[in-house]
Structure 1
Amino acid sequence: MTSPTDPRAKIAARIAACLALAERETTPLGEREAAAAKAAELIARHGITADQAAAARGDAPEGITCAPVALLNTDGHGEARADLANDVARAMGCRAILKPTRAPRPYTVIVVGTTSDVHHLRQLLPLILAQAQTAAANTDPEKRRARDFLSSFLSGYGDIVAARITARRRPLTDPATNPGAALILADRAKRIDDFIAERFGELNERTHQASQDGKTAGRAAARRADIGDPGVKATSRRALPT
């Protein structure tokens, strides 16, 4: 345990004070930017993380956790749904670990992130996936005959939904409007990476072929998707199967 006279404890306290100033909305933007820059300088110079700085001011960082989400796979497109889930998870600052299985068994993804983000994802993913499935079923029957149409549709749908979520979260994550965010988000991303490395080991990124018709149709449909925006009627968000 570090004592109050420990030099690193003093540095951590300075970083914490800078981050607090950078996060305070009532502080003029120029001062917030200067405070964030000073915090970044001290973190880089002394090797003290944002979490350690938070601990110095008595704020424990939100914990990292994981939870499974089962996805429909009776049609053999569970992997495409898992890729969509991963797009959404990354847009929310989380990760999704894919656990492949053969159809018709459910395809499972394990979402990893802060406790609150994982809770939100487990509510949001069924809503998005159900909308994607319905939208795909309502596209041109001629296009749907293509073997890879649905997987490509889901890929395009995931691209746009993720972009919309990223845009909605930008006021919270953009250094221009929230100068302390970059440091905190980088630290959180590292803790998520460390959690995954410890629990799951090294993961390989995958690519897959896509039908242009399917991808285009999916991207168009996703622009109309409910992604949990305020003002959407609650009746449209009742529990939906994936």
Structure 2
Amino acid sequence: MEENAKDAAASEWAALGPSWTRAAAKAYAQVVKEAVGRGWTEEDLARMATRELGEPFHRLAVAMAAAPGRRTLDKFAAEERLDRFSAARAVVDLLGLYSALPPITALTVPPPSTPGEGSGGKALARIRALLAKAESTGFPEEAEALSAKAQQLMARHSIDAAALAAANGAGPDAPAARRIGVDRPYEGAKALLLDAVAAANRCESVWSAEFGFSTVVGHRSDLEAVEVLFTSLLVQADRALHRGRTSRSRDFRESFLISYAARVGERLTAATEAEVAEAARAAGPELLPALAARDLAVRDTTRRLFPRTTATRLKGRDADGWRDGRTAADRARLEGP
């Protein structure tokens, strides 16, 4: 929609007086319904509002998703100190963005809980606690050792879920999918880090660069842990990147993050393989086929959701950034704190 057309639409709503919010709320509901029909969730829409329009539009999108009505629009206008026309124009801009979004792959619905999954909440709470400590400590070695311990717990939880299914004679449950935001700047390096975390935790990720997110496919017991660890590693990478220096080139920062992601992936995968080997010795020959069945289910679901994908190659251009990124990742002690 062109700017003149947007101004005209906003003026038409503003001319309605206080009742403009009723017309805007009705239009919002219709546009969102159409976007959902094209595969977008309201969480996706709020993320796109931030990415394309800015933080005030994110607040508007989140508020409308929670309570799409007149009071929400009145409150938004008051909090942002907007006159009637400006508030109406903000809604027009948001709906214009939503209307222009193309169809995307619809997410699969997570399967219902199965008996025995009650321990998942406790495991995730422990993982969150470890990562919170990692983010708050001022000692890099401790932070990365805590992250490594969190990865060990994530791997153990996934193994336990597979072993329980095998013991009950059940096949692998259907994998689900989750979109995780990959924000500017250096989206490619961040997507690489998410891919590394996903791969180490029996998941697959597909990056949608034009929309600023990756879709991670995996079993429900793994998806939330992947997002939690990815978010924590981003925080820790940013802190390591800026430690000791105030000015770094773009090539240095990008090379640092690419190297960090690659090395973290190696370390996380090694931690997972060690947990699998130990569990296989204890559980016997039934475990490895159960894990393989889960991996196959994830791979098949990913191919069904994304039948056509292309590989993206990233290359670090700054040798110092690459070295420092690898050094930061190498500080992890995989045996835990």
TM-score tier, shorter chain, comes to 0.5 to 0.7
* 1:100-111 matched pairs, under 5 angstroms: 100-101=209-210, 107-111=212-216
Q: Structure 1 counterpart of 2:172, which letter?
A: P
User: 1:124 pairs with 226, 229, 232, which one?
Assistant: 229
**TM-score, length basis structure 2:** 0.45
Q: Structure 2 counterpart of 1:86, which letter?
A: D
Distance 1:202 1:167 in 2: 29
CA contact (8 A) 2:166 2:290 kept: no
1:194 aligns with 2:297: no
1:218 aligns with 2:325: yes
Structure 2 residue runs without a partner (length 5+): 1-161
CA contact (8 A) 1:172 1:181 kept: no
The offset of 1:67, in angstroms, is 0.5
Q: Structure 1 counterpart of 2:197, which letter?
A: V
Over 3 Å counting, the alpha-carbon distance change for 1:88 and 1:55 in structure 2 is: closer
Q: Structure 2 counterpart of 1:71, which letter?
A: V
Give the aligned length: 170
CA contact (8 A) 1:82 1:107 kept: no
Distance 1:208 1:226 in 2: 27
The offset of 1:161, in angstroms, is 1.8
* 1:55-204 matched pairs, under 5 angstroms: 58-73=169-184, 75=185, 77-101=186-210, 107-138=212-243, 140=245, 144-145=248-249, 147-174=250-277, 177=281, 179-204=285-310
Instruction: Give the SS at the match of 1:174.
Output: helix
The offset of 1:181, in angstroms, is 4.1
| Identical-pair percentage | 29
Distance 1:230 1:113 in 2: 25
Q: CA RMSD in A?
A: 3.0
For the pair shown, which has the larger CA radius of gyration, 1 or 2? 2
The offset of 1:223, in angstroms, is 2.9
CA contact (8 A) 2:166 2:286 kept: no
The offset of 1:55, in angstroms, is 7.9
Aligned to 2:159: none
* Deviates most, 199-208 or 82-91: 199-208
The offset of 1:153, in angstroms, is 1.0
CA contact (8 A) 2:198 2:226 kept: yes
Q: Which has the higher helix share?
A: 2
**TM-score, length basis structure 1:** 0.60
Distance 1:185 1:148 in 2: 40
Over 3 Å counting, the alpha-carbon distance change for 1:66 and 1:209 in structure 2 is: same
CA contact (8 A) 1:87 1:159 kept: yes
CA contact (8 A) 2:189 2:254 kept: yes
Over 3 Å counting, the alpha-carbon distance change for 1:56 and 1:172 in structure 2 is: closer
Q: Structure 2 counterpart of 1:190, which letter?
A: L
CA contact (8 A) 2:260 2:328 kept: yes
Over 3 Å counting, the alpha-carbon distance change for 1:150 and 1:180 in structure 2 is: farther
CA contact (8 A) 1:174 1:182 kept: no
Over 3 Å counting, the alpha-carbon distance change for 1:168 and 1:221 in structure 2 is: same
CA contact (8 A) 1:160 1:222 kept: yes
